[in-house]
Structure 1
Amino acid sequence: MFVEWLRKNGVVAGLLAIIRIYLGYQWLTAGWGKLTGGFDAGGFIQGAIEKSSGDHPAVQGWWASFLEHVALPGADIFTFLVMWGEILVGIALILGVFTNFAALMGICMNFAFLFSGTVSTNAQMVLLTVFILVAGYNAGKFGLDRYVIPFMKKQLFHKKETAGEVIEAH
């Protein structure tokens, strides 16, 4: 019942638009700050690895192992992915285009930051993003998804029809 309400109610779509734009702004400003501020993921990754030791580690060993053996050697790639990922997720959420995909990518980044021992606003952003993901299309109803999703469905349906005609012709 609650899920259906999230997915179909017009008033909820408006509330989700506010949440979506808020989250988008948070992502966009974080990414922009990293892009213009000389962000280097190497320092962040190293700090997370250091949080994996002691009596009460903030970072689990399996995640620290991933960071040490995969992320740290590829810190330049992760720097690029984090900066531009945050910017693109922010833009997509603000515009309401590919809303669910953007929210999914955002929540993946939030969880990566949480796994790395950084709390900040990540837990709050995860909670709000869950509502967007559960709401599905309704979260982007007052955004560009209102036009993009039907257009994409029409194009996909048209291509399936055309492919079916080609197969039947043989």
Structure 2
Amino acid sequence: MKTAIALALRLVLGAFWCWAGLTKLAGHFDAGPFLTAAVSRSAAAPEVVRSALIGAIGHVALPHVALVNFAVPWLELAAGVSILLGVATAWGIGTAAALSALFLMCGAVSTNPLLLFGAVVLAMSHPYARAWTLHAWRSPAATL
């Protein structure tokens, strides 16, 4: 039962992150307006979080928005494929959780709380989630 639930969660999260990355790659993705709006939306955050967020966005993300536009879709796609196939699953789950947390801090509240919760639950059930992965067909000696 635990294996089936972990597999379903892994398939849903993996498919979502693949879809998110592919739609950004297929369309015109520009993080600039989102990052600019994130500075104004952070007014409700605690002062420490707000100043760190504004500093990171203003000094790192906005000056290098072309790199952000390139990295975000590819990271989403890579995390989704990793979670779906079960290859480097821990990396994929960690990347998905980090992206969800970053998007949440920038004010994107839509599905990110559920995605972050799903990544945490999947990380906690990682031994069960590995049952139907590409790693499951390797011998135990090959994984050492």
TM-score (norm 2): 0.89
Query: Structure 2: how far apart are the matches of 1:109 and 1:151?
Result: 33
Query: Structure 2: how far apart are the matches of 1:149 and 1:97?
Result: 15
Q: Classify the secondary structure of the residue corresponding to 2:125.
A: helix
Which residue number in structure 1 is paired with residue 129 of structure 2? 139
Which residue number in structure 2 is paired with residue 96 of structure 1? 86
Give the direction of change, closer, same or farther, for the CA distance of 1:21–1:46 in structure 2 (3 Å limit): same
Which residue number in structure 1 is paired with residue 32 of structure 2? 42
Whichever residue aligns with residue 20 of structure 1, its letter is R
- Residue-pair matches, total: 142
User: In 2, are the aligned partners of 1:97 and 1:145 still within 8 Å (CA)?
Assistant: yes
Q: Classify the secondary structure of the residue corresponding to 2:42.
A: coil
Shift of the alpha carbon at 1:149?
Answer: 8.2
Identical columns (%) = 30
CA RMSD of aligned residues (A): 2.0
Query: Structure 2: how far apart are the matches of 1:131 and 1:121?
Result: 15
Whose radius of gyration is greater, 1 or 2? Answer: 1
Give the direction of change, closer, same or farther, for the CA distance of 1:101–1:124 in structure 2 (3 Å limit): same
Shift of the alpha carbon at 1:152?
Answer: 4.6
Which residue number in structure 1 is paired with residue 55 of structure 2? 65
Structure 1 residues without counterparts, runs of 5 or longer: 1-10, 155-170
Quick check: 91-100 or 111-120, which moved more?
Answer: 91-100
Check if 1:86 corresponds to 2:76: yes
Structure 2 residues without counterparts, runs of 5 or longer: none
Shift of the alpha carbon at 1:15?
Answer: 0.9
TM-score (norm 1): 0.76
